[in-house]
Amino acid sequence: MAPPSADPETPIRIETPAPRAWVIRLVMVGIVLAAVNLRPAITSLGALLEEVRDGLGMSGSVAGLLTSVPPLCFAVFGVMAPRLAKRFGPSTVVCAGMFAIAAGLVIRPFTGGTAGFLVASALGLMGIAVSNVLMPVIVKRWFPDKVGSMTGLYSMALALGTSTAAAATVPVTSALGGDWQAGLAVWAVLAVAAALAWLPLVGKKDTSTMAAAASPAAESAAASEGSGLRIARSRTAWALAVFFGLQATAAYITMGWMAQIFRDSGVSASTAGVLLAVTMAMGIPLGFVIPRMAARLPSQGPMVIALGLCGLAGYAGLYFAPASGAWAWALLLGISNCAFPLALTMVGMRARSGAGVAKLSAFAQSTGYLISIPGPLLVGVLYQHSGGWGAPIALMAALMVPQIVVGVFAGRNRTVEDEAGAAAKAAPAS
């Protein structure tokens, strides 16, 4: 008896082997090590900025502009990430990014001049920029059912690297004989370790167990949908980009100015440093918890509101009683700064395909970092001309209101593919 004929309209399902367990574990280790390396290049420099200025003969104005160089590089180089990932694969690009971070960290202290220092810093920041954009892509592709938990792990590791570099750079420099060049270059060791972890993944197909079992027709449709996506047609993409930019503005203002606010209110320099470290360290536990909670909710609006209210309460405390309630304000602002892992989680949830996540991540982060560039500079200008912190703190609080509004909009349960497709269909009729 002849076997029944297959339905010609039914796609043939070709099973491909799932990734081996060691590959999955290596990807997890690689994500953690990469995340640890995404901020030490910035916070280690902040800890030794005075020594760098003296060593290179750097003017005060150039040193002040250094606070805006990281977001500028993130915006400029981040847009390259999707194209590079499409050509070489996300894992290969992240591996190259880790090597770029290591090279920039090793070279910049020994360039002997301001121009060379800035160029070498830009090399390291370029590696950070492409890795920033591709981390949500890699999480989405390898762990599609664990976006919240893996984003939480990544965010926790990022906060750990940020706070560790801020707290340990000066003691490490002292242990190395007080040589600021060695104190900056030593952080390249972490970047090399991350690059070595990603080397075995270079050239491997970035796919999850679920994706590996999908039919070729489904994979092709998803890839086609993502590659043809016009991200700027999505209102959610714009809302997420503005939300990302405003939370980045708050974060860079906090990193650059919060310790000085406490010092000017009568808190000692050492205590002010500890308060800033506490604010940054809040991202370690909450950076893991918040994405897991967000991934279980259809809409992330309530979480956006809760974090924003913590920020407003913290700014109110800085305005009315900066010294007497310093620890409370540091904790509240640390909670508010966890809008960053929430934004990363929403990037992974607001697109269906890996290509869509890549485009949304690049768009939201590049546009967002451009938005964040003027913030720290404007706070400095207001402080200088007003002679106090009242006006700058009022600005910080005012910026929190639109952050809440656009965050609620970005947190709605929809995808950029659906919005861009609907906009494309409506365009000829308008």
What string of H, E and C letters represents the secondary structure of 119-138? HHHHHHHHHHHHHHHHHHHH
CA–CA separation, 361 and 355 (whole Å): 10
**Residue spans in the chain of domains classed CATH 1.20.1250.20:** 18-212, 227-417
| pTM more than 0.85 | no
- CATH classification code of 227-417: 1.20.1250.20
Kindly report which listed range (153-167, 296-310, 396-410) carries the lowest average pLDDT score. Answer: 153-167
pLDDT at 276 over 90: no
CA–CA separation, 149 and 250 (whole Å): 25
What DSSP state is assigned to residue 232? G
**Rounded to whole angstroms, what are the CA distances from 4 to 11, 248, 265?**
16, 60, 83
pLDDT digits (tens, 9 = 90+) for 58-101: 766 666 667 678 888 888 888 888 889 888 999 999 999 999 99
pLDDT at 14 over 60: no
3-class SS at 408? helix
Q: What is the mean pLDDT of residues 309-326?
A: 95
Higher local confidence (pLDDT), 163 or 335: 335
CA–CA separation, 211 and 226 (whole Å): 15
The fold for domain 18-212 equals Growth Hormone; Chain: A; (1.20.1250)
pLDDT digits (tens, 9 = 90+) for 343-355: 988 988 888 887 8
Residue 21 confidence class, pLDDT cut points 50, 70, 90: confident
Higher local confidence (pLDDT), 38 or 430: 38
